[in-house]
Amino acid sequence: MFAGAQVSLYPMTDRFVDVIVSSLTALDPWRDRLRIETDDISTLIVGPPEVLFPALRDFYAAAAGTGHHVVLRATLSRGCPGEPDDPICQTSALANPAQPLSERQAAALGVLADAVETGQTADAQFSLYVMGAGNHMAEIMGSIDFLKNSGTFNRSKNFCTRLSGDAGVVFAALQQAFCCFGPPEGHVTIDLTVSANSPSAR
């Protein structure tokens, strides 16, 4: 399997270079378990979801901790048929699609109880795409029902779902949506925007 994210950080400050570069250092503790490549547009992070999402959480929390208005944009994917399998992405975190939705939802909620809190608020919106054969809408709606009980659900919006809460819990919820809904051998993607310190909230 291949799993990873293309991530871009947009700080709304004259100090944007410092914010981006300093925030990237939050990925350092994860580098031995991920493949990370940064260019002038985005940072590619490849690895198993149980490492990928905590690394994204730490990257976002470091940027949010600067106090500047920052926006993180990410496209996450697993099982893309156009990408070769990568041994670094081996994982046992993906749910069994034969397990009833209700059981997968309950298991995902149980994981959130152990989520690390960062002290940084995350306001996010995301869309989950389950591709391939099967009842993809049942999987997507199952994910939304899980999120409605996760403590992070803010509201439904056109084409996406809004989440709010501590960044640790929000990224843990996103990880469960990514891993527990859609077949392990299938192609699943997330389109994600996370904002911190927005002046709109004030």
pLDDT beyond 90 at 181: yes
CA atoms within 13 A on the CB side of 107: 18
pLDDT of res. 202: 62
Strand ranges for the chain from DSSP E: 3-11, 35-38, 43-46, 70-78, 121-131, 153-157, 160-166, 187-196
- Per-residue pLDDT, averaged over 102-107, amounts to 95
pLDDT beyond 90 at 2: yes
pLDDT beyond 90 at 74: yes
Domains and their CATH numbers in the chain? 3-201 (3.30.70.930)
CA distance linking residue 104 with residue 74, whole number of Å: 25
pLDDT beyond 90 at 97: no
pLDDT beyond 90 at 102: yes
Bridging pattern class, strands 3-11 and 43-46: antiparallel
- Per-residue pLDDT, averaged over 56-65, amounts to 98
pLDDT beyond 80 at 187: yes
